Amino acid sequence: MGMSGVKEFCRPQTARDVVELLEKYGDRAVLLAGGTFLHGLFATGLSSGAKVLVDLQKAGLSYVKARNGGLALGAMTTFRELAESEPVQKRPEFAAIRDALQYPPPQIRNQATVGGCVAAALPLFDLPVALMAVDGSVTALGPRGSREVRLDKFFVDYFENALETSEFLTDVLLPKLPPRSASAFLKLETNANDLALLNVGTHVTLDESGICREARVVIGGGVGKVPVRMVSAESVLKGQRPSAKLLEEASQAVSADLHPVSDHRASAQYRSAVAKVYVRRTLKRAIGQLGIELD
């Protein structure tokens, strides 16, 4: 059993108390959010040095609230709570989050948390790709206070994030997005409980005359150690009026930034081919959120 080294279970009451425990126990402490990912880490022996489990459930980090015109998502907010929150249900700019949360089964939605999913830094997960598409960042709280880290800087490698010693993730922050912003997310999977073979999050902002002013295209799944921005596809879109032809051009442009891996689940060649299709469909879906239907 990978967990047999664990001797203590703590339930700190505030975020500050969590930091104190991290300072006290160092590498011997492992944070418990929802637990759906942690059990896998223990089962595979990746957390075998853990002596103390620090349960974040009571630390007051379950909320979806307005912040600077955008949103602050508490680390312990479950997938279900986030999916049922009004901004995610109703606002077109957050539709990518709504899309991403439809994939996991009810049991995972009830238990898995925003903070746990992001901090896990596994590029195969869905929600981080959707959050990156809407320009998310995180709040890291540590002994010297809190700091904000953009998600594209937060993900470093497989299972590795940019948190420093004794820091932990308290919030995911979403910025205020301009009017006529919309996003979407799509995932390619082999069955209902699968990790992504490939997943795509997109975001667009149109101006009053319908020209694309901002675009973000992010691909996760087996395309690298972290989710990857498709900047070439984004620059095809910016300054142009969305059309079926433009979306096709943007999707072809992903070749410049995409270097997928081959593994037992899919070849790099397959992932490259299907990425273009999924980018086109996800962009179409995002633009559809604004009431514009393209052929």
Partner 1 sequence: MKHLISLEINGELHEIALEPYATLLQVLREELGLLGTKKGCDSGGCGCCTVLLDGLAVYSCMVFAAAAQGRKITSIEGISENGKLDPLQESFIQSGAVQCGFCTCGMILAAKAFLSTARSPSDQDIRQSISGNLCRCTGYHKIVDAIRMASVNR
Residues that bind partner 1 (CB under 8 A): 1, 3-4, 6-9, 11, 32, 35-36, 39-40, 42-43, 53, 55, 57, 80, 104-108, 110-111, 192-193
Beta carbon of residue 108, minimum distance to partner 1 (angstroms, whole number): 7
What residues have CB less than 8 Å from 192, skipping those under 6 apart? 105
Nearer to partner 1, 47 or 137 (CB): 47
Least separation in angstroms between CB 267 and partner 1: 25
β-strand partners of 185: 201
For the CB of residue 46, give the shortest distance to partner 1 in the complex, in Å.
Answer: 13
Least distance in Å: CB of 119 to partner 1?
17
Q: How far apart are CA 294 and CA 263, in angstroms?
A: 35
- Nearer to partner 1 (CB atom), residue 110 or residue 235: 110
Q: Would you say 36 or 77 has its CB closer to partner 1?
A: 36
> Residue 81 CB, nearest distance to partner 1 (Å)?
11
**Contact present, 119 and 154 (Cβ < 8 Å):** no
CB 91 to partner 1: min, Å: 23
Query: Are the C-beta atoms of 83 and 49 separated by less than 8 Å?
Result: no
Burial of 140 (C-beta count, 10 Å sphere; 0-12/13-18/19+): buried
CB of 88 to partner 1, least distance (A): 18
Cα–Cα distance, 277 to 93 (Å, whole number): 22
Nearest to partner 1 of 7, 176 (CB atom): 7
Residue owning tokens 């999707």: 251
Identify which of residues 2 and 288 has a Cβ nearer to partner 1 in the complex. 2
217 pairs with which residues across the strands?
A: 202
Write down the least CB distance from residue 287 to partner 1, Å: 26
Q: How far apart are CA 289 and CA 78, in angstroms?
A: 25
Alpha helices in the chain (DSSP H): 15-25, 38-43, 79-84, 86-90, 95-100, 106-111, 114-119, 127-133, 151-154, 231-237, 244-252, 268-288
| Minimum CB distance to partner 1 smaller for 55 or for 248 | 55
Nearer to partner 1 by Cβ, of 81 and 93: the residue is: 81
Choice between 103 and 278, CB closer to partner 1: 103
Who contacts 74 (Cβ-Cβ below 8 Å, separation ≥6)? 60, 61, 62, 63, 64, 65, 114, 115, 170, 171
- Within a 13 Å sphere around the CA of 291, how many CA atoms are in the beta-carbon half? 3
- Cα distances (Å, whole numbers) of residue 82 to 12, 64, 175, 199: 23, 7, 16, 20
Q: Which residue has the tokens 């959707």?
A: 130
